[in-house]
Amino acid sequence: DAGVTQSPTHLIKTRGQQVTLRCSPKSGHDTVSWYQQALGQGPQFIFQYYEEEERQRGNFPDRFSGHQFPNYSSELNVNALLLGDSALYLCASSSRDGRSETQYFGPGTRLLVL
């Protein structure tokens, strides 16, 4: 049973560029959440996708956008990159089949903005 996968594993960009990160959820999961984790900090919630729509959003600017595809995979797009966007980006998947909806995380994408 494949877990949550993310690509790429590492990425280096320069200020002002745009980046797209990808996530495939765990088999049987239909909901994808994205988190940003700066070095030495706990993850911060960016947004959550379900049924191809953004359902909940954290305190992130509009430069951060996303998409969910019919196969439940998801993309995170960040425009006009800033140095402060350097972080580990984590994707988590879950299933809306009950109360608990435990989130399982992928290995993350490390983004460095120069």
Which positions lie near another protein, rule CB under 8 A? 31, 33, 35, 37, 41-45, 48, 50, 55-56, 58, 88, 90, 92, 96, 99-108, 110
In eight-state DSSP terms, residue 26 is: P
Q: How far is the CB of 53 from another protein (least distance, A)?
A: 9
Beta strand 109-113 pairing with 10-13:
parallel
CA–CA distance from 37 to each of 51, 72, 110 (Å)?
25, 23, 9
Q: How far is the CB of 55 from another protein (least distance, A)?
A: 4
Q: Which two tokens stand for residue 77?
A: 């797009």
Strands lying side by side in the sheet with 74-78: 5-7, 19-24, 74-78, 64-68
Nearer to another protein, 44 or 73 (CB): 44
Nearer to another protein, 84 or 99 (CB): 99
Q: How far is the CB of 19 from another protein (least distance, A)?
A: 18
Q: How far is the CB of 16 from another protein (least distance, A)?
A: 27
Nearer to another protein, 21 or 92 (CB): 92
Give kind and range of the element (H or E) at residue 23. strand 19-24
